[in-house]
Amino acid sequence: MEFYRKNTKKIQKNFSLKGNGLNSWRDYKWQLSHSIRNIDTFEHLTGIKFEEDTKKKLQDTVEKFPISITPYYASLIDGENYIQDPIFKQSFPDTRELDLMYYDMKDPLSEDEDSPVTGITHRYPDRVLFALTNTCSMYCRHCTRKRKVSDVDYTYSRKQIKEGIKYIKETTVVRDVLISGGDPFMLSDDYLDWVLSEIRKIPHVEVMRIGTRMPAVLPYRITNELVKVLKKYKNLWINTQFNHPRELTETAEIALAKLADSGIPLGNQTVLLAGVNDCPRIMKKLMHRLVQNRVRPYYLYQCDLSEGLNHFRTPVGKGIEIMENMIGHTSGFATPRYVIDAPGGGGKIPIIPNYIISWSTNKVVLRNFEGTICVYKEPDSYLPQFCDRNCDNCNLQLKLEPAREYNPRGIVKLLSDVDKTVSLVPQGTERIKRRKKR
Ligand SMILES: *Cc1c(COP(=O)(O)O)cnc(C)c1O
Ligand code: SF4
């Protein structure tokens, strides 16, 4: 981390910050207004120089996918070996972003199609994603919403946000609201306070979550004033995005401590990125550093099929190998869940190594992380009890509040005792078309 201090000094000097001016560095507003938005500035501040023809190609890249790097995040780049640097790779354009593959998509997760009103994506039965803005302090090169984020710096109008809130109010199945973007912490404390207070008023909303990358890319945004606002909401969770242990600087740790001290449960989502963190040892280190800072690893994402991300993608096998290296080998709560967000809008699908080796009518053969093979003997006399989903007559004596979810869905439908469905059939197959003709 020595170079990090040296770098910070160098960049501060190139900004002509000295004396009292140095306090500006820790002012997130100064950081935002001095974000690096072109290659010349990047060269000037970091001292890294590119060849003329590389620079031309970089310009083309930036025209399609703009650049924005906070001076703070730029100071974490190791200038001596920037080509291999995980911070550089996540923040600085790569000319390969322009290599489009036939399977790349503008909106691989169909977030637009599953959007009933601007800003809201309603995909799962009981929760919605609520985007408040398109902007971020740092534009991650691996951003899945590349087509939107940075397109035009855009914060939804209060009117649009009200539409979103209205949708949540009217849709009583929504018990969890995931506030996202862009980065919601790009908005002012007052504005966030307003949105959170409006959502909290809705009786059926049980939890709110904010997804933000600020603790990693601009930790100075976590001010005492912001924490004071967030602390008021006792049903609020925060998810951050750290992708490499090098992002967990002292400054980032202070920001996380402020949030944790105020009682907000913290989670982290990591994106699996080729050349950045596609290594079990780096990943384990990252997860260990996170739990040390009271951040619970939540998801490890397989990189999406968005345009411009091809050079970041790994085979799924790499993710499985990473999980194989963590499950059992380290604390369970330091192990994230590895998921692929289904192209076409199917939501997150968990991927885990295989642990069940075989099965008989009353025995399950399993293997553990060391390769030990064991048998779990199932009970000889287990009487499954019929479930009519009407908990009133159940001998488990669980007097559930009127359950919201009476209708079984998906595979649960097939498992249900009361639903008569015997198969889930894709629509529009030749077989189904033939049936209809008769
Ligand atoms: C990820 C996501 C959620 C939240 O999913 P969890 O598994 O509950 O974290 C909700 N809506 C959309 C559209 C999402 O992509
Ligand atoms: S913080 Fe999130 S939304 Fe913003 S650029 Fe990074 S990945 Fe995209």
DSSP secondary structure, 78-95, as one string: -GGGGGG-HHHHHHS--G
The reported pLDDT for the residue numbered 20 is: 87
Q: State the architecture of 120-350 in CATH terms.
A: Alpha-Beta Barrel (3.20)
The reported pLDDT for the residue numbered 400 is: 63
Mean pLDDT of 170-176: 96
Q: Report the separation in Å between the CA atom of 167 and the middle of ligand 1, taken as the mean of its atom positions.
A: 17
pLDDT at 11 over 80: yes
Closest by CA to 287, choosing from 267, 317, 265, is 267
Using pLDDT thresholds of 50, 70 and 90, give the confidence band for residue 359.
very high
Tokens of 259: 């949030």
Using pLDDT thresholds of 50, 70 and 90, give the confidence band for residue 153.
low
The reported pLDDT for the residue numbered 396 is: 76
The reported pLDDT for the residue numbered 150 is: 56
Which ligand is in closest contact with the Cα of 267? 1
Q: Of the given ranges (144-148, 366-370, 429-433), which has the lowest mean pLDDT? A: 144-148
pLDDT at 405 over 70: no
214 CB near ligand 1 (under 6 Å)? no
Does 233 qualify as catalytic in the annotation? no
Catalytic residue among 124, 154, 191, 298: 124
Question: How far apart (Å, rounded) are the C-alpha atoms in residues 301 and 314?
Answer: 11
Does 124 qualify as catalytic in the annotation? yes
178 CB near ligand 1 (under 6 Å)? yes
Tokens of 263: 């009682």
86 CB near ligand 2 (under 6 Å)? no
pLDDT per residue as tens digits for the range 85-118 = 999 999 999 999 999 888 888 888 888 788 999 9
- Determine the residue of 113, 114, 123, 179 to mutate for testing ligand 1's pocket, defined as the one with the most ligand atoms within 8 A of the Cβ atom: 123
Q: Report the separation in Å between the CA atom of 82 and the middle of ligand 2, taken as the mean of its atom positions.
A: 21
Are 414 and 395 a contacting pair, CB within 8 Å? no
Mean pLDDT of 200-214: 98
Ligand 1 atom closest to the Cα of residue 123 is 13
Catalytic residue among 72, 85, 127, 303: 127
Are 55 and 39 a contacting pair, CB within 8 Å? yes
Does 394 qualify as catalytic in the annotation? no
Question: How far apart (Å, rounded) are the C-alpha atoms in residues 238 and 36?
Answer: 27
Residue matched to tokens 């993710």: 319
CA distances 174 to 128, 226, 233, 260, Å, are 7, 26, 18, 26
145 CB near ligand 1 (under 6 Å)? no
The reported pLDDT for the residue numbered 393 is: 74
**Residue boundaries of the structural domains of the chain:** 2-95, 120-350, 354-382, 391-437
211 CB near ligand 2 (under 6 Å)? no
Nearest CA to ligand 2 atom 6: 140
pLDDT at 402 over 80: no
H-state helical runs in 92-202: 158-170, 189-200
The reported pLDDT for the residue numbered 321 is: 98
The reported pLDDT for the residue numbered 113 is: 81
Mean pLDDT of 306-328: 97
